[in-house]
Structure 1
């Protein structure tokens, strides 16, 4: 039920307001033409202001919080900054990065609905204008907010049609012949045993992480209290064609490929960092070649970036998993158009998954993909996310929000990074008559120095990073490592596809 009836704030949403865990979602969206503000305001009035969460604020009644329906003054939520003309000759991309970072320094006003949108008629290298949307995480998770964006948009090629998103196919297992009853029974039994075993191991590791199991101190891990620091937000567009090529050739999923690229990119970055600090090597200079690839160069000679002392690093990512399906795009569109009174779930029903990243240099780039697939396949055959969700509900019920948020914060403090992948539309979309060039979402407020998001959109796969600049001083170099890693993996796949010469 929506907040028009004063719905109680869910425990998961309340946790995102806990001290030391005040979390936000921020999305940078490139627009293909200059922004017409009146069209935007009219579109927001007809859609977003009909959404219960976006026209309610949080109020406390006794010891409980609820969503309080309120009248929204759109001018309080739509911000149009003045941009000096000198930027036409300066660096607009750098200005945008600085602007987004500065936006995060100020918390949202709790007396109003917890969202705002900034519109910049600033021409960057990737778009004619930019929209920066900031939403408090208590309003919903990434998947819910993406569904909301799509429901308020239309296909760029058809102003009446809602966007389409990929349909996830359920995995099917090859079954033995029906006559092999005993064999089938043994397979099912083995599957149940391994599922229970994997879940028990994952829950034990989760508990140890809460208690004392901490990741290694690396250049990617932040210092205590870093959730209070101002983050830097950068993004890089990767080739969706390359991702799909690798996916098809290796018979993997998009998630497998992206995690493999992440393993390779982080290994490359740490290789470079520890190349100076441990081995005392001369400074490795990262050069960009004419074909867009990069290479390490020392003394004028290229060499592979391999440092085999990385094997002892413990580096894990925390992934928040939505255990409740989000409302469908059509249902959201109908609700915002006030054509439907359907009830649907909204908010944060999140379980936690802790994913170990194998940091080790590989001579064969495809090995990163194989490692990633093994990690994901193992996690798929576990009930870790569901169990952690229900465990958190029990803790919230019997021990309270302070204990639950402290436990959650411990998980983030003892791991290195956050990781997510959100599926976007298959075609270009237009929001209130403004076609989007890209979508680059991220989050901040977690006690992590690095948060990695992948966002698909039409023919782009956008890599977004939120970094602590005191720990990761050149996030663009880290983006280069990801882009180069995808290129090397693609080249290795193409090499394997070419038949050997007779």
Structure 2
């Protein structure tokens, strides 16, 4: 009987299946009620695994040297891990929070087995401050990007208020109407030429950053070799999405602009407390952009229509403003600068160029070359940022309501990484930072301070506008 082979891995997915980039995606689901092991097996067998055949596949190299997915017999029990925390901690939620994040940090560095489908589910049977029990999915990034994996989970969720109604998602802000249509012919040609020149320039800078152009060494960027194997600290902080929308309305931006501006301000405060910061230091962030270019999901059906599994994203490098004298800079200026930077980058084709370049490198030099370029791009930048939009309503999996869920990424060659996810009107920010180098508690404190200052300035602006 012929082997059942699925299509080859994309260039990005192949690069994630090399020793150079052992990236893993970690998704945490926080439940109101506990599951036992048999219930977890049932959920995986009936709800999640049938959605994509990749969950029953290993990565196989065929006779032509092409890596593709190969169907195998799946034993679900082999993929379920139930850890044991230190004795006596089951009633101490604060203590369990500490053990929980330490456990996440530990598994973020572990390698997944090569002889079985590359995913695991860790059942944390201890109550934490936000859950009675938690399920932690750890998956090889080759399975798909955050969009693919989260859409798999979303399709298994049901609304708590009415399971028959569709789950809905926040609608991303539409871009402002372009003035391009109002230009005369000469202006259109000039604008087109300018965009082409800027695209080429930006693409060259991105390529140089991936080869040898590095950010400056700072208190958020160490030069420790093979950072992806260095112990991490994982922490979480939550903000109100309505408040963030108030900020975005004041600056005329998007929620994404506010997130990047908040992170920029946080980095500035953190660096200010630990070192003398000059405005000419090079500090940049690597932002993962979804190449499906969706402006936002209306519901799960819309999200699933594309049926685009795998890794389909581009690399966007943005400079973070430091402002040498930040005491005289409005907190909102960090968001305004983030907005300007994102507008400039999104008007270029450099994101698409990065995807095209990876395909060219894969065809000429193989997947290791793609992995090498992506690895060095991450290593040469100061931090990473990725975000996913989540449901607006409270949802349940197998009739068990979720208090929250979020994701992070393991195996990144950076000292600091931010992942952001919305759910039920809240925005959850997860920091994963180099243990012993980044003061994670101070970093979270700086983020709360930055957020408070931004809100205060927003309220002043609103009051001035209404008076």
TM-score, structure 2 as length reference: 0.91
Find the aligned partners of 1:491 and 1:92 in 2 and give their Cα distance.
Answer: 34
In structure 1, the residue matched to 2:227 is 226
Distance 1:244 1:399, change over 3 A: same
1:270-309 equivalences in 2 (<5 Å): 270-274=271-275, 278=276, 309=277
Find the aligned partners of 1:99 and 1:216 in 2 and give their Cα distance.
Answer: 31
Which of 360, 385, 393 in structure 2 is aligned with 1:394?
A: 360
Find the aligned partners of 1:329 and 1:252 in 2 and give their Cα distance.
Answer: 26
Runs of 5+ unmatched residues, structure 2: none
For these two proteins, the number of residue pairs brought into alignment is 454
Q: Secondary structure at the match of 2:436?
A: coil
Find the aligned partners of 1:175 and 1:405 in 2 and give their Cα distance.
Answer: 39
Which of 125, 139, 142 in structure 2 is aligned with 1:138?
A: 142
Instruction: Give the Å deviation of 1:54.
Output: 0.8
Find the aligned partners of 1:471 and 1:61 in 2 and give their Cα distance.
Answer: 43
Q: 1:148·1:332 contact (CA, 8 Å) conserved in 2?
A: no
Which of 419, 437, 446 in structure 2 is aligned with 1:481?
A: 446
Find the aligned partners of 1:325 and 1:358 in 2 and give their Cα distance.
Answer: 26
Find the aligned partners of 1:205 and 1:39 in 2 and give their Cα distance.
Answer: 51
In structure 2, the residue matched to 1:49 is 49
Find the aligned partners of 1:405 and 1:501 in 2 and give their Cα distance.
Answer: 53
In structure 1, the residue matched to 2:67 is 65
Instruction: Give the Å deviation of 1:29.
Output: 2.3
Q: Secondary structure at the match of 1:446?
A: coil
Instruction: Flag the structure with larger Rg.
Output: 1
Distance 1:331 1:422, change over 3 A: closer
Distance 1:499 1:388, change over 3 A: closer
Instruction: Give the Å deviation of 1:408.
Output: 1.9
Find the aligned partners of 2:30 and 2:465 in 1 and give their Cα distance.
Answer: 44
Q: 1:115·1:133 contact (CA, 8 Å) conserved in 2?
A: yes
Distance 1:172 1:220, change over 3 A: closer
Distance 1:164 1:263, change over 3 A: same
In structure 1, the residue matched to 2:170 is 166
Instruction: Give the Å deviation of 1:239.
Output: 1.8
1:378-457 equivalences in 2 (<5 Å): 378-457=344-423
Find the aligned partners of 1:499 and 1:428 in 2 and give their Cα distance.
Answer: 36
In structure 1, the residue matched to 2:301 is 330
For residues 225-262 of structure 1, the C-alpha deviation after alignment (integer angstroms, 9 at most, x for no partner) is: 11122322211111212211112232221011111111
RMSD across aligned positions (CA):
2.5
Matched, 1:318 2:319: no
Q: Secondary structure at the match of 1:47?
A: helix
In structure 2, the residue matched to 1:269 is 270
Q: 2:11·2:370 contact (CA, 8 Å) conserved in 1?
A: no
Instruction: Give the Å deviation of 1:71.
Output: 2.0
Distance 1:160 1:203, change over 3 A: same
Distance 1:501 1:158, change over 3 A: closer
Instruction: Give the Å deviation of 1:126.
Output: 2.0
Q: Secondary structure at the match of 2:409?
A: strand
Distance 1:169 1:239, change over 3 A: closer
In structure 2, the residue matched to 1:468 is 434
Distance 1:84 1:400, change over 3 A: closer
Q: 2:288·2:313 contact (CA, 8 Å) conserved in 1?
A: yes
Instruction: Give the Å deviation of 1:61.
Output: 2.2
Instruction: Give the Å deviation of 1:168.
Output: 3.6
Q: 2:30·2:405 contact (CA, 8 Å) conserved in 1?
A: yes
Q: 2:266·2:447 contact (CA, 8 Å) conserved in 1?
A: yes
Find the aligned partners of 1:332 and 1:217 in 2 and give their Cα distance.
Answer: 40
In structure 2, the residue matched to 1:345 is 308
Find the aligned partners of 2:461 and 2:6 in 1 and give their Cα distance.
Answer: 59
1:64-83 equivalences in 2 (<5 Å): 64-83=66-85
In structure 1, the residue matched to 2:38 is 38
Find the aligned partners of 1:249 and 1:352 in 2 and give their Cα distance.
Answer: 28
In structure 2, the residue matched to 1:203 is 203
In structure 1, the residue matched to 2:217 is 217
In structure 2, the residue matched to 1:337 is none
Instruction: Give the Å deviation of 1:325.
Output: 5.9
Q: Secondary structure at the match of 1:68?
A: strand
Q: Secondary structure at the match of 1:220?
A: coil
Instruction: Give the Å deviation of 1:102.
Output: 2.1
Instruction: Give the Å deviation of 1:343.
Output: 9.2
TM-score, structure 1 as length reference: 0.84
Find the aligned partners of 1:396 and 1:59 in 2 and give their Cα distance.
Answer: 17
Find the aligned partners of 2:337 and 2:432 in 1 and give their Cα distance.
Answer: 25
